[in-house]
Amino acid sequence: MAKKVVMVISAHPDDSEFAVAGTVAKWVREGHRVVYVICTNGDKGSDDPKMTSARLAEIREREQREAAGVVGVSEVVFLGHPDGGLEDTPQFRGELVRLIRKYHPDIVMTSDPYHRYMWHRDHRITGIVTLDAVFPYARDRLSYPEHQAEGLEPHKVKEVYLWGSEEPDTFVDIGNTLEIKLKALRCHVSQLGGHSDWKDWVVNRASTVGRAHGIALAEEFRRIEIIY
């Protein structure tokens, strides 16, 4: 495809690596520009009784920057909301609208908010607020008019890719980038350091998804094309 700008909007550090790193690495190799937006600081994800939220947030930001670098993403935006604290508010939506208008992504990737039953609340909120930010808010000039004072004009996103969807329809071959995905995940020591089976789970998942569609290894998405 022609060179595009891709924005990945995830709730926590490491979400992007689990969900889209194989696809992102593939697209970066093809010359596309990718921007990561991390909505929370991940400051609750530890069972260590000696860990503090402030220290964990610093660790997870460093790990996320390292992981992004592995897949070739040089721009990472941290919104800094507390882990578990995301809400569907005009302020949060405005942050995402502003970034969409700043970076002009052709494609936005985020978590499917309509995943049923057990789904991290931050994933659900991130997905729904991202979809609203994409359409109609980033498109409409009279929404968040304060952005115009920064020179930011309305922007129309062309496609959305949802991960975690129960109705995926798009399958990306990551056979040549799975090792990059695994290397990026290894950067998240604070989350995976105490687990020995995460690699098998990731590989088996990619194999299961791909095999059903004639691909050795794949990541899956629900793709939405936006017609204006």
**Crossing angle between the packed helical segments 53-71 and 15-29, to the nearest 10 degrees:** 20
Please provide the average confidence, as pLDDT, over all residues in the chain.
96
Q: How many residues does the chain have?
A: 228
Q: What is the pLDDT of residue 224?
A: 98
- Our CA dihedral for 56, 57, 62, 65, rounded to 10 degrees, sits at 140
The pTM of the whole model exceeds 0.95 = yes
Q: What is the pLDDT of residue 95?
A: 98
List the CATH number of the domain containing 101. 3.40.50.10320
Q: What is the pLDDT of residue 195?
A: 83
Q: What is the pLDDT of residue 193?
A: 85
Going by their DSSP bridges, the two strands 159-163 and 33-40 should be labelled as unpaired
Output phi, psi for 142, to 5 deg: -85, 0
Output phi, psi for 125, to 5 deg: -65, -45
The number of folded domains in the chain is 1
Task: State how far Cα 112 lies from the chain centre.
Answer: 11
Give the pair of three-digit tokens for residue 204.
Answer: 């088996």
228 CB-contact burial (10 Å; exposed 0-12 / middle 13-18 / buried 19+):
exposed
Per DSSP, the three-state class of 185 is helix
Listed as ranges, residues in the chain with pLDDT below 70 are: 1
Q: What is the pLDDT of residue 228?
A: 87
CA angle in degrees (0–180, nearest 5) for 125-228-106: 60
Q: What is the pLDDT of residue 1?
A: 64
**Rg (the chain; Cα; Å):** 17
Q: What is the pLDDT of residue 2?
A: 80
Domain assignment of residue 95, given as a range: 5-225
